[in-house]
Structure 1
Amino acid sequence: MTDALSTLARADAARLKSFAETLVPEFAEIEVLQSRSGLVMLPIRDTAKGVAFHLGEVLMSEAHIRSGDAQGYGMRKGHDLEASMAMALVDLALTQGIAAERCQAFCENEAAALSQRDIETLRRVEATRVDMETF
C-alpha cells in the first residue's frame, strides 16, 4: 500500500482525478472526514554532518475519507484539494478491494510514467555536471 500512496502522491493530477471519478459509483456512501490545505515543514538531511534540519515550508493538500469501517487518505503537494481527494478515493478503493485490478493497473502505469520522468530529469541534471580537476 505504501508504494501505491507514494505513486499516487506524485501521479499526474488530471489522470488521477479522471480515474478517481470512475470509482465514485462503486461506493455506497463516502464520508469526508477532512479536506484541507496548509504548510508542512520540509525536513532534509545534511549529508556532511548527518543531521536533519528543516529546509522550509511546502504547501500541501490533504483529504481523509471513510466508507464503512475503511478509511482512505491523500496528501499531495500544492493547493489541489480535488487531487488529494482523488488520491484518498483510490486509497479507499484499494483498502476495500473495490476495483482492485483497475486501481493496481492505474498505479503501475503512473509509477512507470513517474520513473520515466525521473530518468529524464536526472539526464538533464547530469548534462549540466562539470568535472573539476584539482592541481
Structure 2
Amino acid sequence: MTRPPQSLQGWTHEAQLSVLARADTARLKAFADPLITDLPDISVVENRTGLVMLPMRDTAQGTHFHLGEVLMSEARISADGQEGYAMRRGRDLAAAMAMAVVDLVVALGHAQDACRAFLEAEAKAQSDADTLTLRRVEATRVDMETF
C-alpha cells in the first residue's frame, strides 16, 4: 500500500491519526458515515480488539517500563491501492472503522477540505480539553516550604 508523503496540507499522517484516535466518538462516526458513499469498493483487512502494553517513562530515573495493558480497537481497510488505519482506546469497533474510513478518504485524496476542517475542529476541542484538565490539576497543587 502506498501513501502520499503528506496527506493534507499542513498535516502529517502521524498528526492526523493522533487527532482521529482521540476524536469524539459520536462526531467521528457522524462525519465518516457519508464519506463511505464516495469510496470505491472497500476491503476490510482487519477489524479487531486486543490488549496492548502501555509504555511509560520514569521521570526520575529516565527508564522506560510498562504500566499495564490497555484494551484497543483496531481497523485496517483498503481501496484502490491505499490503506486506511485506525487504533482507538476501548472496545468500539465501529469507531475504529469510522477512523479508518476517514484515513482512507484522506489517502485517496477525497473530501480534503471537509477532512481538514474536521481535523482542525477536533484538534481544537482536544487542546481545549487538555488545557482544562491541566488547569484542574494545577488548582490542586500545594506549595510546601522545605526547611
TM range (shorter): over 0.9
| Map of 1:70 onto structure 2 | 82
What TM-score, normalized by structure 1, do the two folds share?
0.98
SS at match of 1:16: helix
What are the ranges of 5 or more consecutive residues in structure 2 without an aligned counterpart?
Answer: 1-12
SS at match of 2:68: strand
What are the ranges of 5 or more consecutive residues in structure 1 without an aligned counterpart?
Answer: none
| 2:91 matches 1:79 | yes
1:89 to 75, 98, 101: 101
What TM-score, normalized by structure 2, do the two folds share?
0.90
4+ long deviations beyond 4 Å: none
| Map of 2:48 onto structure 1 | 36
Partners in 1 of 2:83 and 2:61 — Cα distance?
Answer: 40
1:117 to 126, 129, 134: 129
Q: How many residues align?
A: 135
Alpha-carbon offset, residue 122 of structure 1: 0.5
Partners in 1 of 2:126 and 2:101 — Cα distance?
Answer: 20
RMSD, aligned α-carbons: 0.6
Partners in 2 of 1:104 and 1:26 — Cα distance?
Answer: 17
Alpha-carbon offset, residue 68 of structure 1: 1.4
Partners in 1 of 2:41 and 2:143 — Cα distance?
Answer: 59
| Map of 1:51 onto structure 2 | 63
Alpha-carbon offset, residue 2 of structure 1: 1.2
